[in-house]
Structure 1
């Protein structure tokens, strides 16, 4: 075996969306990072194809949203056949009230271009075969075309999918279940056009999720309750027959770009970190594809982990800051697993109580304004929050919630929060007067950006606090009056970063 040591702070196993997003976050902070990927090429199929509102906000915080939108088909409304229910994400208070339809391969291309532009090395055709922690170093055994060698790094992050080698080496259990039916996916043209860009058709035989790419092709995701598992490739004839059964008419599918079948699973790792090894994305959690949450959870995992791991590597935070990644993100994925499991079982059941319940739930959820807003808020990730951030006595209810792209009017041209977050540091909005807050934190190093002025436009509750401290991932770390800020803000900042 060749002995080879690479001078990297972090090795990431897996060059899917989670790994590439994380690599960009680390490189932006000056962390020496390498990505290894067993596949020879980026994903060429559409695979995961929907970016929800919160994910688009995250990408906008890094200057990537415009390029995504230039390639995508924004779909603001979801039609569910039960009670002819309509869910309108355009009602959300965000610039991205939509499901942004873009093939996974193009998302990966955008994320990889950013990462490599920041100096990240992405090595394809390289497989992580073993890993172990030795003190403050992680040793990785890598293999390529029969040659095997070792490299070391301060940290190893497994973004290597549901069969994660890193998770296995950590000893984390991946508990959960496999559903008793399979899903067929096919990207095809339809001779019988659909009236909706995104339709969920539910019937006694199963369900179909039909998504318009905006270029003449549709993604058809099909669960046929009566169809047994098969190891054979999905054929156009099989797609045609299944769609006839579930739609009750000839949809005339043609020109398939990609077809596949797979089992649906729901699983979550028992822990996300062990020492200097961490897992994220599908390596940490998998769930039913209903709702299109998987890729979105992975990108948001990376956004949460990136700045924290960078701070630890750079000596600006202790290792236990990484425990907050596991605490915050495991709760979110656990909630998604629970909701998608209930929805999948209810939507695919042929039992009369389930059929009655699902129609009633969809009707109420789509037609009662408050319930509708809650449904689309959670579906989009806009309502995702981290309650543990606001556990301190007297903390503002805003702490731990997502901060929208606020406009701050001070001297000169109004500034936008997302643009300030593109430096990768904390942002401090101060609308009061007096001596600068957090005077010990230098501004030029990018760890803290100060915006002086008042929050303007229709920003609702965000116009009330005089001072707001926002984490690099766009969540509120502190909010309140300037008087309280003088007493509390320094300790809050030091909770996350050592100045």
Structure 2
């Protein structure tokens, strides 16, 4: 194949949630995209199973939230056994104030369906064994059933997990630490039903995170501080014994659907990009599973990267736009790594200061309204923001924050923002009838949707601005009055489009 005319603009290594979401984002923007996956079949185990509020908003922006909810068990509250602390995600200002429980395999199925309908080629049983850059292309060595060959693409994105071959080829370090204890995961039925759909039980011996699938089975994630590592498969007898130890009574687990044992690690790649190769999801960062952030971070990595890489591939932006992907997402993953590390160490320690601290922290975080909002906001991703956006624009405090599913009135029936975002472009809301604020952008440009109308809100910050510009990933790029928009909006829009 001629290196100058690769068959695909982008090859994505890995058909997990991150890779499939990214491929769908690229294809939606007209990018020729191929996904290669070493596994022959989609994940059949439950694995990562919780979608947080912001991830559900993202899926709603792309028309997938309803199908997810039809298969899922929404859980609005999390109980922690320390002082019976209760965290209510139903208080979040979103339509998805819950942890949406759905097995990873079903999430992948929904994401893959969307991607393939948009024209993505998903090749399973194809392993990426090597890759390197050559001029304006990336050469990929692929292997399937003993056959080895080379293909080229304009760009390569590694969504290939914590042992990423793409990250290794980039020469990026993956520094961090491995915890001295392991986690056992078992999806089982319980002979002693739990009163809570999501319970974190903490004791001196360790902790259990029990999650109700809503169909009779529970996910039991167990950290036993005294249990040594073993290469042996997890047995039902081991699960029974460990749960009895940590609950203080026989829980009578049965009918295991899936069991696993793994070390907990926290690691961050030293770089997310090297030339025409990038990484996202677990290839870029891993952390303690406490809080269920991994899959959510990966999907949101993909949505952040997708429109930017599409703009570069399409010649609408310079490749320095891709630098903002690492700038924005590294800060988010670093924060998750830090918080989950502190929480895991505090929750599993048998030392008296840690025991006192965790009980105090949980009590304050769950009972004081301000700290409660902060806790569930960050856990859900609803509070995630990109301060570097606001610093660059120097405008409203709304810049860089997540935009909720606003209702927009004017010009007929009220419109919902997230429905209007399903083509993946920028959205400009302008409540006045004045001259076009972006005259250089032709009417009908697929990269920008103009909505004339006002934001319907009785209170809160979104009722104030006359003009709001929203990025394809649902973050505010500019907000303010029409008067200020005349001098600032074009520069802001061009900054994102041209890089």
* Structure 1 counterpart of 2:255: 255
CA deviation string 1:228-261 (max 9, x = no partner) = 0001100000000000000001101000000000
Checking the alignment, whether the CA contact within 8 Å between 1:4 and 1:150 is kept in structure 2 is no
- Deviation (angstroms), 1:432: 2.0
CA distance in 2 between partners of 1:4 and 1:410 (Å): 49
Aligned to 2:478: 478
Q: Is the contact made by 2:266 and 2:287 (CA closer than 8 Å) also made in structure 1?
A: yes
Runs of 5+ unmatched residues, structure 1: none
Shift of 1:392: 3.4
Q: 2:324 maps to which residue?
A: 324
How far the C-alpha of 1:441 sits from its partner, in A, is 1.1
- How far is the alpha carbon of 1:6 from its aligned partner? 4.8
CA contact (8 A) 1:36 1:122 kept: yes
Question: How big is the shift at 1:423?
Answer: 1.1
Separation in structure 2 between the aligned mates of residue 5 and residue 487 of structure 1, nearest angstrom: 41
* DSSP 3-state at the match of 2:319: coil
Query: After superposition, where does 1:281-320 map in structure 2 within 5 Å?
Result: 281-320=281-320
Q: Which residue of 2 aligns with 1:493?
A: 493
Alpha-carbon distance in 2 for matches of 1:237, 1:266: 30
Give me the whole-angstrom Cα distance separating, in 2, the residues matched to 1:254 and 1:491: 61
Alpha-carbon deviations, 1:111-132, whole Å to 9, x = none? 0000000110000000101100
Contact 2:406 2:456 survives alignment (8 Å)? yes
Aligned equivalent of 2:214 = 214
- Equivalence for 2:383: 383
* Aligned 1:92-491 pairs, distance under 5 A: 92-392=92-392, 394-458=394-458, 460-491=460-491
Deviation track 1:65-93 (CA, whole Å, cap 9, x = no partner) reads: 00000000000000000010000000000
Q: 1:183, CA displacement in angstroms?
A: 0.2
Q: Aligned equivalents of 2:117 and 2:223: distance in 1? A: 41
CA-to-partner distance for each residue in 1:197-244, whole Å, 9 max, x for gaps?
000000000000000000000000000000000011000000000000
Measure how far apart 1:459 and its partner are.
5.5
> How far does the alpha carbon of each residue in 1:134-155 deviate from its partner, in whole angstroms, 9 at most, with x for none?
1111000001111111111110
What CA distance in whole angstroms lies between the structure 1 residues aligned with 2:6 and 2:239? 48
TM-fit CA distance, 1:457: 3.4
The 2-side partners of 1:4 and 1:391 are apart by 39
- 1:394 deviation in Å? 3.8
Residue 443 and residue 112 in structure 1: after superposition, are their counterparts in 2 closer, same or farther (change >3 A)? farther
CA offset digits 1:393-413 (Å, max 9, x no partner): 641110000000000000100
Q: Deviations over 1:437-481 (max 9, x none)?
A: 102212423200011111113451001011000000000000011
Tell me, what secondary structure is at the counterpart of 2:338?
Answer: helix
Match of 2:90 in 1: 90
Determine helix, strand or coil for the equivalent of 2:492.
helix
Number of residue pairs aligned between Structure 1 and Structure 2: 499
Contact persistence 2:433–2:452 (CA under 8 A)? no
Superposition deviation, residue 54 in structure 1 = 0.2
The offset of 1:4, in angstroms, is 13
Distance 1:437-1:4 versus aligned 2 partners, 3 A rule: closer
CA deviation string 1:408-430 (max 9, x = no partner): 00010011110111110000000
Report the TM-score, using the length of structure 1 for normalisation.
0.98
Cα distance, 1:434 vs structure 2: 1.0
Distance 1:4 1:239, change over 3 A: farther
Gaps in structure 2 of 5+ consecutive residues: none
Contact map agreement 2:393 2:492 (CA 8 A) in 1: no
SS state of the match for residue 436, structure 2?
coil
Q: Distance in 1 between matches of 2:249 and 2:86?
A: 22
Paired residues of 1:406 and 1:459 also in contact (CA < 8 A): no
Partner of 2:39: 39
Would the aligned equivalents of 1:442 and 1:448 in 2 still touch at CA under 8 Å?
no
Q: 1:393 to 1:14 in 2, by over 3 A?
A: closer
Deviates more, 1:451-460 or 1:234-243: 451-460
Deviation track 1:311-346 (CA, whole Å, cap 9, x = no partner) reads 000000000000000000011000000000000000
Q: Is the 8 A contact 1:5 1:151 kept in 2?
A: no
Tell me the secondary structure at the aligned position of residue 332 of structure 2. helix
SS at structure 2 position matched to 1:497: helix
Q: Separation in 1 of the partners of 2:452 and 2:228?
A: 62
* Inter-partner Cα distance in structure 2 for 1:460 and 1:95: 16
Distance (whole Å) between structure 2 residues aligned to residue 445 and residue 489 of structure 1: 17
Scaled by the length of structure 2, the TM-score of the pair is 0.98
Instruction: Tell me: CA distance 1:443–1:340, structure 2 relative to 1, closer, same or farther (3 Å).
Output: farther
Q: Distance in 1 between matches of 2:71 and 2:301?
A: 24
Query: Given the superposition, is the C-alpha separation of residues 489 and 255 from structure 1 closer, same or farther in structure 2, using an over 3 Å criterion?
Result: same
